[in-house]
Structure 1
Amino acid sequence: MSKREAIERLLNPESIAIVGVSKDFTSISGKPMKNLIRHQFQGQIYPVNPKYEKIEDFTCYPSLIDIPGEVDVALIAVSSKRMMQILSECEQKNIRSVILFGSGFAETGEEGERLQEEVLEKAKKAGITILGPNCIGLLNVKKSIPLGFSTSFETEEGFLSGNVGFASQSGALGFSLFGLAQEENIGFSQVINTGNQIDLHTLDCIDYMLEDEGTDVVAGYLEGIPDGEMLIRLAKRSKALKKPLIVLKAGRSEIGKKAAMSHTASLTGSDETFQAIAKQYGLVIANDVDDMIDLMKVFSRGKQSNGNRVVTISNSGAAGIAMADYSEPLGLELVRLPNETQAKVEEIIPPYGSALNPIDITAQALKEQHIFTDTLEALINEDEVDAIVVQTTFGGELGQKICKKIAEIDKTTEKPIVVTITGTTEITGEGRTILEKASVPVYTTSYKTMVAIKQLADFSRFCLSHEEEAHTHGQVGKSEDTSGIWTEVRVKKELSSLGIRIPQGTLIKNREHLQEVKANIPYPVVCKGISKDVLHKTDADSVKVNIKNPAELEEAYESIISSIGNYNPDANIDGVLAEEMIQDESVEMFIGVKEDPQFGPLIVCGLGGIFVEVLKDISIRRAPITDKEAFAMLEELKGYLLLKGVRGGSKRDIQALTEALVRISQFALTHHGRIQEMDINPLWVFEEGKGVAALDGIIVWKKNEEAVVNAK
């Protein structure tokens, strides 16, 4: 049975056994049965506990083996110590899907981890699929089937069905978020909590939800990423289906990472890397629970934006100013309306209002409600506008009338309309509810509204973009000797083969060699000590610049050899590299490669020299990258202005720099699994048309036993 089939069975059981059930319906082991009865589960319920003969009107069985009928899903609410015995009963009874509620597994330490491994091994041999352990359960919202003990299942009003699927590693947070979202009239298709995700994990559930015809928006709360390649595949699938994949990722801080280990035994990984992957592959990132609900709201409407051009309508000048202030840093354009459209708006609003975007219709709309809605209707067919924001403070009967009209207009257009209603629930709540029930996204603050518009515009633009094949700008072959440490001399040879310029130079191996070459070296030169035991030359004072003649070369040679010896008496010295001193005006950059355990080879760039450590102004992508992605990396940098040329400075060769990034990303992919660290620092970028040059570099290769064989 595939994982999708297993999830389908868990969500749609016709018969359910509850092992360890309690007559006390307020307890964790009693709530699952109470919830199934409360929501009128139409299938068979089999309570299992040798203590009881009956629970309510249901026969209670001493073991799973004693159940007379077939069982689709077993809910197991017993001690972790009894788990192996219960799995044996599941195997005998041919139960292939189980939910483990109990804790006491990997989240508790080594002993719990061993037990978890034993349980998984036993389940795999028996062909049993496990959700959990350490989880609250799941909910098929469409069919009102709650399998678990979440407080959210205890509602007497039922569940609001809709098009949002949600997979959460945390049960408490996941179902709390579900409950809050339901209060804002956001409907769900299914909610699944994976807990320690011993077998089925959050990405499996997201995979199922993306393919579910009744689900248009998929959200996930992740503490760890069980499979980086799968997450990227799912992000690509999200784009292909135009179903946004919203992710709230925990464990961004060091304290958060430690907490995640004790919560669900999750290794959270680098947040810096995750954010880069999200940007590259179009994941929609939520920062907290409120943010995720806000995003569910705007995406569940199903509309997309053709761009980032926004017009705002408000009865408050201050609100319009606030939206204008938020739009610029969010990358939204408050578009200038064409003269004809602006003239239409001027005819509708009072003469003391403003038809300039942001449009201020003034408080006159208190008397003449048509001002609001007529202005909105004048804008919905404007091609220069991609999304419309309506802001109002009106409550009571007037507010309700306006909201009804907005909802009616919204149904007539594919253009996103997003509303801000500022005011108390007592005054404005009924109008807000009218919009929510009509699936019009509505928020309480201008900031929330503009963030929602920005995320919608970004995802829409990403869906419209075409995926490009990475262009190598030349062949990238696989290197033979990928072991140990490659010093600058060996790295530069490789970079030269990739078409990246390097300074001309000579490695002076010893004093005798120095005497042979010193008269033939073109001065001035830079001298650098080359040693696998000294990775940062400045720490050992092993760099000398502007060497003008043979005498200064001899002096520099002796000084460098001495400095390295003082820094590390055991250092193995390959020699002193004397190379041309490039004096052209340039901007220092760096390019690096690191192998991420979850996502594979990553390419990093930023300002070079010491700035990379001081400013931490970097951009990251997963290799390989396209020219377009390389250019986007540069644009993200605060230091990009230096490349463009500021205050009279000349523009740098950005094209050559992007080509270097692409080539090195191809090198990283070719050697996927073997590179531990690669740094080219500094990489000088000259004036436009004059290219780039790598002045230093190092590669640290993984040991053979640590290297991952590239399966591609």
Structure 2
Amino acid sequence: MDKNEAIQKFLHPESIAIVGVSKDFTSISGKPIKNLIQHQYKGNIYPVNPKYEEIGGYKCYPSLVDIPDSVDVALIAVSAKRMLSIIDQCKQKAIRSIVLFGSGFAEIGEEGSNLQNEVLEKAKEANIHILGPNCVGLLNVHLSLPMGFATSFETNRPFISGPVGFASQSGAIGFSLFGMAQEENIGFSYVVNTGNQMDITTLDVMNYMVKDEQTSIITGYLESIPDGEQFIRLAKAAKEKDKPLIMLKAGRSKLGQKAALSHTASMTGSDETYQAIAKQYGIITVNDIDDLITTVKVFLNQKRAAGNRVVTISNSGAAGIAMADYSEDLQLNMITLTEETKRKVADLIPTYGSAMNPIDVTAQSLKEQHILTDTLKVLLEDTTIESIVFQTTFGGELGFNICKAIAEIDAKTDKPILVTITGTDELTGKGRRYLQQNNIPVYKTSYETMVALSLLVQYSTKTVNDVQVAGENIYHTDEIKERIWTEVKVKHLLTNFGIRTPKGVLINKVDEIETMKVDWDIPKVCKVISSDILHKTDAGGVIVNIQNEQELAVAVKEITESVKKYDKEAQIDGFLVEEMVKQEGVEFFIGVKEDPQFGAIIVCGLGGIFIEVFKDVSLRKAPVSKEDAIEMLMELKGYAVLQGVRGKGSHDIQALARAIEKISHFAANQNGRLKEMDINPLIVLEEGEGVLALDGVIVWDEKIDHLIESL
């Protein structure tokens, strides 16, 4: 039984055993059976506890092996130390799916981690799949089937079913969010808490939801990414099926990462890398529970935005101004209305209103309700408008009637309509709930509305490029002889990619200067070559503007003395004598880092001191296409410098994008052997002139012998 089949069994059991069950229905071990009874579970329930004869009207068994019938799922509410014997019972009884509530595993340290590994190994041998430990349970909302002790299970109201699936490492956050979303009439398909993720992970559950026909929106709370490649495959599959993947990722700060580790034994990974992966593969990221609910609402009616061109209607000029302000920050285009649309709107609204975008229909629409709805109809006819935001403060019957009219109009158009209703629940709640019931995104503030629209636009317009790694690998077994490749070898590599480097000569000692064949009409730069000196300027390893052989000899001597003073153990391999670059350009850098979760990550940004000062960088998982590379560049605050500022012409952005593309394919081809790569500075010359690499270094994985054998 694979994980997908196991999750199907977890969510659709025909029989459930509860091990360690208690007669105290207020306790953690008593709540699971109480919840099953309360929500009228139709399958067979088997309490297991040698202390009791019966619980809740059900016969109680001393152990799992004493149950006379087959069991689909076992809910385990016993101490961690008893788990090995419980696994033996499950194996004997052919129970293949267990939910492990208890803590005391990897989250408590080495002893717990060892026990967790032992339990998992034994479960694998018996073909048993585990949800948990440190788990509060799961819920099949369509079947009103709660399996666990989450507080949200204890409601007397029916669960609202719908298209939203939720997988969460945290039970408290997961089921709290579920309860809050239910209050806003958001229906769910499944809610699953994975806890420590000993076996079944959040990614496994979300992968199941991608394939599930009853789930069209997938949400998750993650403290770690257990498998980076699986995460990317999940994102691609969700995007291909047009199922928004909405993630709340914890552990963004160092303190948060530390807390996550103690919480569920999760290694959260670099948030910077995670955010880049999310952007690259069309994953929607949110900051908290409220944001997640806000985002879910905008996807419930299944509409997509053709682009970012938006128009707003309001009966409040101030609200319109606020939405215009937010739109700029959120990359929404508050477009200028066409003359025809403007004229039609002006004919509908009072003369003291505004037919400009944002449109102000004024409070006169309080008396003449049709002003709002007729204006909405006019805007829907305009093909230049891609989304509409409707804001009102009207409550009571008038507000309710307007909401009914909006719902009728919304049902007849593919364009997204988002509504902001500002006011108390007493006055506006009836209309708001009507819109919710018709899956029209409705919010209480203009900011929430515009954020939701921005995320809808981002998702709708994002194309995920499935870039395949270029097959050719020009690196042979005997080439990786040193862990660190210095500038000379890196530049030779770059020339194979078509990336230019300055003309240069490598010398090993001063005596070789007389035999050099160089053009002294062009000033030279002399740089130390040493695998022990990666930052040459810090060690005094660079001297520029050398005019002749005599000055070069002095430079070599000075560099040698300076480097030895900086690091007396440093091994000097030689001195690179190059032509100084006369062409003006923008200093840039291209880098690669090997991420433990996601593999090779390509990084770029303005070079030189700007890396440390501004930290203006863009990241993607390698490999990337040229189009992806241009998108990376456009994300940078420094992109304007590449385009040309203060009368200077634009620089060769196309050549820079090609360089990023080629280096990314090289990095992806190394299968984890490349630890770091840094091309800095890379001079981006004027448009049509290409790029010029002035320095570079590669650091291979420390296990050189293994690397050479694997090539």
Say yes or no: TM over 0.5: yes
Return 5+ residue gaps in structure 1 as ranges.
Answer: none
Following superposition, the deviation at residue 80 of structure 1 comes to: 0.3
Q: Is the 8 A contact 1:18 1:76 kept in 2?
A: yes
Following superposition, the deviation at residue 467 of structure 1 comes to: 3.2
Partner of 2:580: 581
Return the alpha-carbon distance in structure 2 between the equivalents of residues 63 and 466 of structure 1: 51
Partner of 1:90: 90
- Report the more deviating stretch, 527-536 or 374-383: 374-383
Return the alpha-carbon distance in structure 2 between the equivalents of residues 191 and 324 of structure 1: 37
Return the alpha-carbon distance in structure 1 between the equivalents of residues 669 and 466 of structure 2: 19
Q: Which runs of 4+ in 1 moved over 6 A?
A: 705-712
Following superposition, the deviation at residue 475 of structure 1 comes to: 6.0
Aligned counterparts, 1:618-637, within 5 A: 618-637=617-636
Partner of 2:691: 692
> Structure 1 565/518 Cα, relative in aligned 2: closer, same or farther at 3 Å?
farther
Partner of 1:451: 451
- Report the more deviating stretch, 95-104 or 430-439: 430-439
Which of 471, 474, 478 is the aligned partner of 1:477?
474
Q: Is the 8 A contact 2:75 2:99 kept in 1?
A: yes
Q: Deviations over 1:522-567 (max 9, x none)?
A: 5410011111111101110111111111221111111001101111
Partner of 2:442: 442
Return the alpha-carbon distance in structure 2 between the equivalents of residues 490 and 383 of structure 1: 56
Q: Match of 2:103, as an amino acid?
A: S
Q: Is the 8 A contact 1:523 1:549 kept in 2?
A: no
Partner of 1:537: 536
Following superposition, the deviation at residue 228 of structure 1 comes to: 0.6
Q: Is the 8 A contact 2:514 2:549 kept in 1?
A: no
Following superposition, the deviation at residue 199 of structure 1 comes to: 0.4
The reply to whether residue 152 of structure 1 matches residue 152 of structure 2 is yes
Following superposition, the deviation at residue 471 of structure 1 comes to: 9.3
The reply to whether residue 366 of structure 1 matches residue 360 of structure 2 is no
Following superposition, the deviation at residue 157 of structure 1 comes to: 0.5
- Paired residue secondary structure (2:381): coil
Following superposition, the deviation at residue 51 of structure 1 comes to: 0.7
Q: Is the 8 A contact 2:165 2:215 kept in 1?
A: yes
Q: Is the 8 A contact 1:228 1:598 kept in 2?
A: yes
Partner of 1:105: 105
- Paired residue secondary structure (2:18): strand
Q: Match of 1:678, as an amino acid?
A: M
Following superposition, the deviation at residue 165 of structure 1 comes to: 0.4
Aligned counterparts, 1:109-120, within 5 A: 109-120=109-120
Return the alpha-carbon distance in structure 2 between the equivalents of residues 187 and 278 of structure 1: 25
Following superposition, the deviation at residue 307 of structure 1 comes to: 1.1
Q: Match of 2:355, as an amino acid?
A: A
Q: Deviations over 1:293-350 (max 9, x none)?
A: 0111111221111111111100000100111111112111112222222222112111
Return the alpha-carbon distance in structure 1 between the equivalents of residues 19 and 708 of structure 2: 44
Following superposition, the deviation at residue 711 of structure 1 comes to: 10
Return the alpha-carbon distance in structure 2 between the equivalents of residues 564 and 470 of structure 1: 43
- Report the more deviating stretch, 63-72 or 132-141: 63-72
RMSD: 1.7
Return the alpha-carbon distance in structure 2 between the equivalents of residues 412 and 277 of structure 1: 37
Q: Is the 8 A contact 1:132 1:194 kept in 2?
A: yes
Partner of 2:122: 122
Return the alpha-carbon distance in structure 2 between the equivalents of residues 115 and 469 of structure 1: 41
Aligned counterparts, 1:654-673, within 5 A: 654-673=653-672
Partner of 2:570: 571
Q: Match of 1:477, as an amino acid?
A: I
Return the alpha-carbon distance in structure 2 between the equivalents of residues 34 and 607 of structure 1: 61
Q: Is the 8 A contact 1:201 1:226 kept in 2?
A: yes
Return the alpha-carbon distance in structure 2 between the equivalents of residues 52 and 564 of structure 1: 79
Partner of 1:178: 178
Return the alpha-carbon distance in structure 1 between the equivalents of residues 704 and 208 of structure 2: 36
Q: Is the 8 A contact 1:672 1:710 kept in 2?
A: no
Return the alpha-carbon distance in structure 1 between the equivalents of residues 524 and 120 of structure 2: 63
- State TM-score, norm by structure 2: 0.98
Q: Deviations over 1:429-478 (max 9, x none)?
A: 1111111111111011111101111111111112xx37364697x96523
- Paired residue secondary structure (2:559): helix
> Structure 1 359/90 Cα, relative in aligned 2: closer, same or farther at 3 Å?
same
Return the alpha-carbon distance in structure 1 between the equivalents of residues 354 and 450 of structure 2: 20
- Paired residue secondary structure (1:324): helix
Q: Match of 2:474, as an amino acid?
A: G
Q: Is the 8 A contact 2:21 2:47 kept in 1?
A: yes
Partner of 1:58: 58
Following superposition, the deviation at residue 666 of structure 1 comes to: 1.1
Partner of 1:252: 252
Following superposition, the deviation at residue 516 of structure 1 comes to: 2.5
Partner of 2:47: 47
Aligned counterparts, 1:264-343, within 5 A: 264-343=264-343
Return the alpha-carbon distance in structure 2 between the equivalents of residues 477 and 233 of structure 1: 28
Return the alpha-carbon distance in structure 2 between the equivalents of residues 361 and 672 of structure 1: 60
Partner of 2:505: 506
Return the alpha-carbon distance in structure 2 between the equivalents of residues 708 and 696 of structure 1: 25
Following superposition, the deviation at residue 519 of structure 1 comes to: 7.3
Partner of 2:32: 32
Partner of 1:547: 546
Partner of 2:345: 345
Return the alpha-carbon distance in structure 2 between the equivalents of residues 475 and 653 of structure 1: 27
- State TM-score, norm by structure 1: 0.97
Q: Is the 8 A contact 1:591 1:606 kept in 2?
A: yes
The reply to whether residue 467 of structure 1 matches residue 465 of structure 2 is yes
Return the alpha-carbon distance in structure 1 between the equivalents of residues 323 and 485 of structure 2: 53
The reply to whether residue 201 of structure 1 matches residue 201 of structure 2 is yes
Return the alpha-carbon distance in structure 2 between the equivalents of residues 384 and 681 of structure 1: 44
Equivalences, count? 709
> Structure 1 519/454 Cα, relative in aligned 2: closer, same or farther at 3 Å?
closer
Following superposition, the deviation at residue 85 of structure 1 comes to: 0.8
Return the alpha-carbon distance in structure 2 between the equivalents of residues 470 and 78 of structure 1: 48
- Paired residue secondary structure (1:380): helix
Following superposition, the deviation at residue 639 of structure 1 comes to: 0.8
The reply to whether residue 402 of structure 1 matches residue 402 of structure 2 is yes
Return the alpha-carbon distance in structure 2 between the equivalents of residues 261 and 292 of structure 1: 23
Following superposition, the deviation at residue 251 of structure 1 comes to: 0.4
Following superposition, the deviation at residue 234 of structure 1 comes to: 1.0
Following superposition, the deviation at residue 118 of structure 1 comes to: 0.4
Q: Match of 1:90, as an amino acid?
A: C
Counting aligned pairs with the same residue, the percent is 62
> Structure 1 382/512 Cα, relative in aligned 2: closer, same or farther at 3 Å?
same
Q: Match of 1:433, as an amino acid?
A: R
Q: Deviations over 1:364-414 (max 9, x none)?
A: 111111111111122223211111100011111211111111112111112
Q: Is the 8 A contact 1:522 1:580 kept in 2?
A: no
Partner of 1:429: 429
Following superposition, the deviation at residue 707 of structure 1 comes to: 6.7
Partner of 1:167: 167
- Report the more deviating stretch, 430-439 or 679-688: 430-439
Return the alpha-carbon distance in structure 1 between the equivalents of residues 662 and 517 of structure 2: 35
Return the alpha-carbon distance in structure 1 between the equivalents of residues 137 and 223 of structure 2: 17
Following superposition, the deviation at residue 521 of structure 1 comes to: 5.2
The reply to whether residue 595 of structure 1 matches residue 585 of structure 2 is no
Q: Deviations over 1:12-37 (max 9, x none)?
A: 00100000000000100000000000
Q: Is the 8 A contact 1:595 1:673 kept in 2?
A: yes
Partner of 1:212: 212
Q: Deviations over 1:227-248 (max 9, x none)?
A: 1111111111111101100011
